Structure 1
């Protein structure tokens, strides 16, 4: 059975994007530095590449917040992972949208999007994109695992990841360190 996994890069001060997120800077001011580890060019970059490849191999479907979809569609050139079905959480539903890379975007409410994504993922994972939708899913008890790529960067302000949400997180394995520290936690059921 698939798991719903929040897999996210976060600054040391808890932000997933810098301030002033918008079309010109979808990751906000300085936020692009949160994903530089994925290139493998930093110290121990081979470790980072291996972590990224393992995440990519597990993706069976994606749940995306509406704002993340709006800002990311042009950059992705289709769904965030080619050919992978993506479910956009929104109150403004619309017809499905075929991505340019073989994937399809479906638009639905929170619980329906999570359920449909799990069905579509089969035995792979459902990844969550977007801090707001991640908080909503966590609050609804719909996230099974949290994977944080802790980036040695202080943004000072921006989009906080866990603003106001509470959960007990149980470590899954030891931290893995490349140019960033990769942490995995299972969300304890209340």
Structure 2
């Protein structure tokens, strides 16, 4: 069965986006620096750049389907066509139903609830991973015991404020691979099972 994986770049002080997230700046003020490692050219150390390029390739190769929060989808539709992975089946978790949408990147976006999104995304992903986009939906998946792994790319920036990752949530994380250092530090964890899902609410 495919894994449900949150793969996210985060600042050293724990933010996945800067302050003032808006359509013109979907990563918030300064938030674009979190993804600078993805260029594979950020460091003066070529060995660090090679690590970043390898990690970026692993992420892209792993994606079989995407679960995305509604706000993240709305913000990302213009710059990315919905997600950074063209043609991948994507499932937008929302309480506001609408017909399926074919994005500019060729992906089909279905709008549905949390558990149905997970079931459909797993089926669409086959042997690959279901990658999660959006802090709100990631928290909802964690609370519902539906998140299998957390992959962090810790960028050497202090944003000071913005969107916190897992704000207020508690979970035990088990290292899934030794850390790898490029221009960001790349960490992988398995989410330890909890006794059972609890109720969740999410705007969207």
Cα offsets for 1:47-78 (capped at 9, x unmatched): 10110100100100000000000000011135
C-alpha distance in 2, partners of 1:118/1:31?
Answer: 30
Partner of 1:26: 26
State the 1:145 CA deviation: 0.3
* 1:170 equivalent among 162, 169, 174: 174
Q: Does 1:128 align with 2:132?
A: yes
Q: Mark the runs of 5 or more structure 1 residues left unpaired by the alignment.
A: none
Change (3 A) 1:134 1:78: closer
Q: Does 1:111 align with 2:107?
A: no
Partner of 1:68: 72
C-alpha distance in 2, partners of 1:103/1:80?
Answer: 10
Give the superposed CA RMSD.
Answer: 0.9
Count the aligned residue pairs. 190
Kept in 2, the 8 Å contact 1:62–1:86? The answer is yes
Partner of 1:137: 141
Partner of 1:83: 87
Question: Where in structure 2 are the equivalents of 1:151-166 lying within 5 Å?
Answer: 151-166=155-170
> Secondary structure at the residue paired with 1:174?
strand
Kept in 1, the 8 Å contact 2:13–2:158? The answer is yes
Q: Mark the runs of 5 or more structure 2 residues left unpaired by the alignment.
A: 195-204
C-alpha distance in 2, partners of 1:80/1:145?
Answer: 20
- TM-score (ref. length: structure 1): 0.98
> Secondary structure at the residue paired with 1:132?
helix
Runs of 4 or more, structure 1, over 3 Å off, are none
- TM-score (ref. length: structure 2): 0.91
Q: Does 1:2 align with 2:6?
A: no
